[in-house]
Amino acid sequence: MNDLLAQLPHGPEFRFVDRLLALEPGVSGIAEYTLRGDEPFLRGHFPGEPLLPGVLLIEAAAQLAGVIAQADPQQAPLAGLKLTAIRAAKILGTARPGESVTVHARISGRMGPLVQAQATATVRGTLVLHCEVTLSGST
């Protein structure tokens, strides 16, 4: 299942999904990302008080949604699938080095090259994000 992560268009330095914990192809999934503490962006966010930027929580949600969509056995994979819209995003918390973020995503709609998903993220059981994302690619 984790070989699906290698299909993300991002380089390893910009992957915010480490492990797939569950996957219902084309429908939903659960993934995890552990903030190691040595990520370069933490040096500036924030010096002496490193925190995972909220926008990267959204990116993790979009990456998981992409994995779910691309694994759909009823749909051909979309080339160049990218995050193109964010709606109703609420960043309610974050992660610190050593903590794991658990991301849940569910595909809520597809129309041609567009994929919509609803997502949440938790840290230690506490909700830190809920959002809707739209991805687009080409057939």
Q: What does DSSP say about strands 79-91 and 126-138: parallel, antiparallel, or unpaired?
A: antiparallel
- Cβ distance 91 to 59 under 8 Å? no
- Cβ distance 127 to 67 under 8 Å? no
Residue 57 and residue 130: Cα distance in Å, rounded? Answer: 9
Q: Report residue 30 as tokens.
A: 């659960």
List 10, 45, 104, 130, catalytic entry: 45
Q: Would you call 104 a catalytic residue per the annotation?
A: no
Determine the distance from the C-alpha atom of residue 97 to the mean position of all C-alpha atoms in its chain, rounded to a whole number: 18
Q: Is the dihedral of CA 108, 84, 76, 3 positive or negative?
A: negative
The residues annotated with a catalytic role in the active site are 45
